[in-house]
Structure 1
Amino acid sequence: MAATARGREVSSRVRPLAALLVTSIALLVAACSDGHIDVRTVASPGWSSYGGNAANSNFAYPAVPDDLELSWTRPTGGPVTAPLSISNQSNVGVTADTANGCNWLVLDPRNGRKNFCKRMRPGVEVNTALIDQFDQPYIGEETTFLAWNAGGAIRWRMPVIGVPLPGKFAAPGQVLVTTTQGQVLLIDSQTAEFAAPEVRLRPDANPDDPIAGYGDCVTNGPRCAIPAAPAVDTDHERFFLNFWPQGAIASQVRAMTYAERDGARTMSELWHADVPGGVVGPPTLSADGATVYAFSRLGQIVALDAATGKTRWTYRNGGYGFATMSVSPDGLIIPTGVLGAPLTLLRDRGDHAEQVWQRKDLATVSLSTLTDSDTAWTVVRDAGKNSLSLTEVSTTDGSTKRVLSLPESVGFATGVSVSPKGQLAVATNIGKVYFFDSRSAIAGR
């Protein structure tokens, strides 16, 4: 009897432990299983990449606080030419052309201090980091595209031919990487394995000379195969490039698919469109994926049918300026002009573009950002001065809603990035970052 009682006592103690062990094993198995919905990386809800999103549309859904004010500034130590990124946690990513020290920094939104910073090889200064939902950045330098964890440790390196351009998520867990020499890669964001066979769009791609043609990228010259970030349509599994074929007289918009064939992804050309005078800058995609926009070297905005490449309309913009634009889901377009150009709002009418309004009294010096609140943010040169201000205007009538000074600013800005909380970040080309937050959030720190 005593032995039986002791056995029951031991058994009663073991059962909970066994149950705990079984539960732990089950959780471990689940964690290691193919839980794609939970673990595959996707673009951060913040300003996750160049152009703010996969489409390069520079459009923001979060509402910007009414009590917005300057929270902090930080010098980078060198000129800034690439737009900023902002993660889901509002961390600000910035690259700069510095002579020494860090040339890629991730800044804390509370005070502008460095979460981490890195010294990387040439090419990083033209890159905007791609950020996933775990605050993990992906960014390139000559010969290499790298994935990092949120603390700044390298997760993997991928050798590339040339200088990688800003990456984009093409599907959950899959990063699209293009390079200045025309190489196109689709990479598993966790394992760094190819999610599709690589494509080399030009036969003169030279693995032994990573900066071959790189000097032509600023001017969109013929030796730079791809000078700007792609626009990606994840719903239709296709992307669009500014591509200069070897030996061609001008660059073109090229559409490519990465859809599955026989159970595996393959990248191939869908169509190409020869834009008069050639293409300048990155393509921009409409929210519904139906239209792709590009600037021509002749100063036109060209709207193409995204499925066929046929021209829907052209609009004489009077120049291509920064060769970038902001596009809203309802078809509003703000083209970026030359430094000091008026702020202009267009509307896509399907078969033509019409001017909604123009503010000739505003000398713009930045790419603009359209918002879901029927406003647009841009940076303008203060009247009669060299200083700059961050300005919000109504898209309804172009009226000014508010003006926020950028202290000690000159030159131009690289764009206006918006966090999931509606915070704004701006960088000037002389190398200074400005971060705006709500007054109540600043006071509560």
Structure 2
Amino acid sequence: MRTRTRVAASLAAAGVVALAGCGTDVDDITVGSGKGWPAAHHDGRNSAASPVSGASAMTLSWSRPVGGPIAQPVTIGGEGQLFVTTSTGNCAVFSYQMQTGRKRFCNPLGPSTIEAPTVVDGINNVYVGDDGAVNSFNYLGQPRWRTPVAGVPVAIQFTGDGRVLTVTQSGQVDVLSRQTGEREVPTLQLLGEPDFLKYPGLTRPASGDGLDDCQVGGPRCAVANTTAVDPETGRFFVTVWEPGKPMASLRAMSYADGTVTQLWSADMLTDGSATSPALSADGATVYVGDNSGRLIAVNTEDGSTRWTHALGWTPRGRIALVDDLILPSGDDGYLAAIRDHGDRADRAWERKDLAQRGTPALTSGEIGYTVAAIGAGLNLITFDTTTGTTIDSDPLPNATGTTTGTSIGPEGQVVVATRLGEIFTFTPDA
């Protein structure tokens, strides 16, 4: 057992000691098969698509409040263990059992944990950020390690070689060992390193600085969304709004040969980024939405725009992908599918009668799920992804407002959480 200490050279991590947990140098913890919902948008590509076969009829299994608001999607381990972040004063990260909703653990962390998503590996270790750190806990909630960073990790993913990739809202990029939390490559600052000679009195901003702008992709949040990762090439894609720039950019980065470098940057996100980037299955196209109401398809090789499509509303949060169909989210819009023709896009189908109050999640078997406003309440809508036709509709009892995401469990369960702080779990009908 040993403790490692690192002192980062940049202002962002100056004077901060990184403590690695007990363990060996052998990384024998698997990332997992992708069953369950191990990341905010299911996988590294942010596809919001599960390999599990969807069910055409669902029944509410249980619901429960967590005691505080929820801002991020629920993640689900391969055996059905649920993880969610909140802000209750006493607990910031919760875990529940799928079958009963019984709490497995809750752990206190910093107040900004509510803005940090979780990721789960193959043996239900969970990784989550808070004010100035990345943390890992095992399936019982016991601490494994804590590594200091500058800001709050608003993007957390697994790399193709099984490391933890984190990006904070202030633009600090780190690649960490899943076993120890130790930095595997030098930290990179997306906004550049501080110039101490030019600004000798420069101080480190508060960890939560600018977080209020992250939900809407505003200018005070440099990085507002979850990174999309191509596990085959080591490339990843991140939205960045540099101070003083008129619009945000989409950047392609490379994690290879022990370092992180920038491949290209394209200023294209008018009024800031609205969605996390989502990567096509072949890795050739990355999709992203901006606050001017556009969906944009981008060539991953050089950052050139393949096409833009005006939605008529601002997409928000996630883009779901299945084959050549793209389903944007956004509480200002409705359920719709856009078809990618390579050099242009058009509407494959639309459901203007279904006002979205959540984010679509797709399964195999041409079935998808989303939450829509029905009357004064909210319903889980089961729909045919090829036509948009409603297959099933199930109310979320007494739920109001909107939801943070739609997640699919390893046996086809559907889990949604309201922003007011209640989890609803549906199971397939036998």
The TM-score bracket by the shorter chain reads: 0.7 to 0.9
Cα displacement (A) at 1:204: 7.2
> 1:205-247 CA deviation, whole Å, 9 max, x = no partner?
7645212333332332223221111111111101001111233
| Cα gap change, 1:276 to 1:118, in 2 (>3 Å) | closer
**Residue type of the partner of 2:311?**
N
Q: Does 1:238 align with 2:230?
A: no
Q: Secondary structure at the match of 1:281?
A: coil
Deviations 1:362-400 (A, max 9, x none): 122111112221122111111xx2111101111222211
- 1:343 and 1:33 map into 2 onto residues whose CA distance is 48
Answer yes or no: is the 8 Å Cα contact 2:269–2:289 preserved in 1: no
Is contact 1:174-1:186 (8 Å) kept?
A: yes
Is 1:326 matched with 2:320? yes
The match for 1:354 is 346
Tell me which of 136, 139, 157 is aligned to 1:168: 157
Amino acid in structure 2 at the alignment position of 1:56 = N
Among 361, 383, 386, the alignment partner of 1:396 is: 386
Alignment check: 8 A CA contact 1:386 1:411 kept: no
How far apart are 1:33 and its partner, in Å? 9.5
Structure 2: how far apart are the matches of 1:338 and 1:256? Answer: 30
Query: For structure 2, which runs of at least 5 residues remain unmatched after alignment?
Result: 1-22, 195-202
- Give the SS at the match of 1:411: coil
SS, match of residue 153 in structure 2: coil
Assess, with a 3 A threshold, how the Cα gap between structure 1 residues 407 and 201 changes in structure 2: closer, same or farther. same
Q: Shift in Å at residue 40 of structure 1?
A: 4.7
Within 5 Å, which residues of 2 pair with 1:146-225?
146-203=135-192, 207=204, 209-225=206-222
2:139 counterpart SS class = coil
State the secondary structure of the residue aligned to 1:245: coil
Secondary structure of the corresponding residue to residue 211 of structure 1: coil
CA contact (8 A) 1:229 1:241 kept: yes
Distance 1:104 1:386 in 2: 30
Runs of 5+ consecutive residues of structure 1 not aligned to the other structure: 1-31, 441-445
| Secondary structure class of the residue paired with 1:218 | helix
| Aligned equivalents of 2:341, 2:91: Cα separation in 1 | 46
Amino acid at match of 2:335: L
Q: In the alignment, is residue 78 of structure 1 matched against residue 72 of structure 2?
A: no
Q: Does 1:290 align with 2:284?
A: yes
Distance of 1:66 and 1:301 partners within structure 2: 29
More helix as a share of residues: 1
Alpha carbons of structure 1 residues 65 and 300: separation in structure 2 relative to 1, 3 Å: closer
**TM-aligned CA distance change 1:180 to 1:386, over 3 Å:** same
The structure-2 alpha-carbon separation of the partners of 1:43 and 1:169, relative to structure 1 and needing over 3 Å to count, comes to: farther
The 2-side partners of 1:172 and 1:360 are apart by 42
| Displacement after TM superposition at 1:73 (Å) | 0.5
Shift of 1:203: 4.1
Contact kept in structure 2, 1:281 and 1:322, CA below 8 Å: yes
**Aligned 8 A contact 1:301 1:315 in 2:** yes
Deviations 1:318-357 (A, max 9, x none): 12242421111x1111111334x32111111111111011
The 5-angstrom pairing of residues 8-407 of structure 1 reads 39-42=29-32, 45-66=35-56, 68-98=58-88, 100-203=89-192, 207=204, 209-260=206-257, 265-277=258-270, 278-328=272-322, 330-339=323-332, 341-382=333-374, 385-407=375-397
Q: Which moved more, 1:152-161 or 1:171-180?
A: 171-180
What's the counterpart of residue 14 of structure 2?
none
Aligned residues: 399
What do the CA deviations read for 1:272-316 (whole angstroms, capped 9, x no partner)? 111051432311111111111111222111100011111000001
- 1:136 shift after superposition: 0.4
Letter of the structure 2 residue corresponding to residue 179 of structure 1: T
Specify the SS of the correspondent of 2:274: strand
Q: Determine the C-alpha separation between the residues in 1 that align with 2:66 and 2:269.
A: 39
For the residue of structure 2 that corresponds to 1:426, the secondary structure is: strand
Q: SS in structure 2 opposite 1:55?
A: coil
Larger radius of gyration: 1
Could you say what secondary structure the match of 1:215 adopts?
helix
Using the alignment, how far apart are the partners of 1:363 and 1:248 within structure 2?
33
Amino acid at match of 1:402: D
Contact 1:139–1:166 (Cα < 8 Å) also in 2:
no
Deviations 1:12-35 (A, max 9, x none): xxxxxxxxxxxxxxxxxxxx9987
Is the 1:44–1:131 Cα contact (8 Å) retained in structure 2?
no
Percent of residue pairs identical: 35
Shift, 1:67, TM fit: 5.3
